[in-house]
Amino acid sequence: MSLTKKRKVAVAKVDKNKFYSLKDASTLVKEINCTKFDSSVDLHIRLGVDPKKADQQVRGTVSLPHGTGRTKKVLVLCTPDKEAAAREAGADYVGLDEFVTKIEGGWVDIDVIIATPAVMPKIGKLGKVLGPRNLMPNPKTGTVTNDVAAAVNEVKGGKIAFKVDKAGIVHASIGRISFSAEKIAENSSELLNAIIKLKPSSSKGIYLKGVSMASTMSPGISLETKSLMN
């Protein structure tokens, strides 16, 4: 596949043999962006873990200091007594049975689902639809809670969930290309620190095996991992 002129220029600016500091990568990712829209800036973090082992499944949440730059659509599944609080907090959709039926029919036009513990038995059957899309509410990510208002506020405020995939990689969006280089670096640092703190005790050897930063359709920029661990 032939590269466009803009992409050729972008590729030429990235030294494939160099490992960049977080500060330099955050500046460079803005310089090499070649889309006309406000691209997502993503981190791809390869970890020295075996995701097949239960005690090495790195997952968690982090509140990015500058948000994600994208307003997430939130569905709250709850009993009627919690509905008003969810709506006041800014949930896009609130209810239960009608949304369970919609999801069973294939509707997944949402970014995050928050549920109260009382309704989880009704939601369990949706695992086949929600599981592969990482939409299943989970106490570990704060999406199963009785305090639905606080959970909605956190998601709308920039809280993201992350999870290592089968290949041992965490993929996460940490902002938009319109962010300043400083904001990109600070959001990246917050995510990386959260992942480093979750290093499983049973994981031996190098934990941060590789970190790459890229915006939509731009080449990846490799980060120097030793400084990140420190």
The domain total for the chain is: 2
| Tens digits of residue pLDDT in 24-38 | 999 999 998 888 899
Residue 11 lies in a domain: no
Closest CA to 159 of 227, 21, 64: 64
Q: Which structural domain range is residue 142 located in?
A: 74-157
Q: Which of 160, 131, 4, 139 is nearest to 69 (CA)?
A: 160
Tell whether 42 and 115 lie within a shared domain: no
- Asked whether the beta carbons of 115 and 107 are under 8 A apart, the reply is no
- CATH number of the domain bearing residue 58: 3.30.190.20
Q: Each residue of 107-149: pLDDT tens digit?
A: 999 999 999 999 999 998 999 899 888 899 999 888 999 999 9
Please give the pLDDT value at position 141: 85
Check residue 72 and report its DSSP letter: P
Q: Residues 197-221: pLDDT tens digits?
A: 999 999 889 999 999 999 988 889 9
Residue 171, in any domain of the structure? yes
Residues 102 and 44 in one domain: no
Q: Are residues 103 and 211 in the same domain?
A: no
The reported pTM is 0.80
Contact 222, 63 (CB under 8 A): no
Residue 91, domain CATH:
3.40.50.790
Give the residue from 157, 189, 217 where a domain finishes: 157
Higher-scoring residue by pLDDT: 144, 10: 144
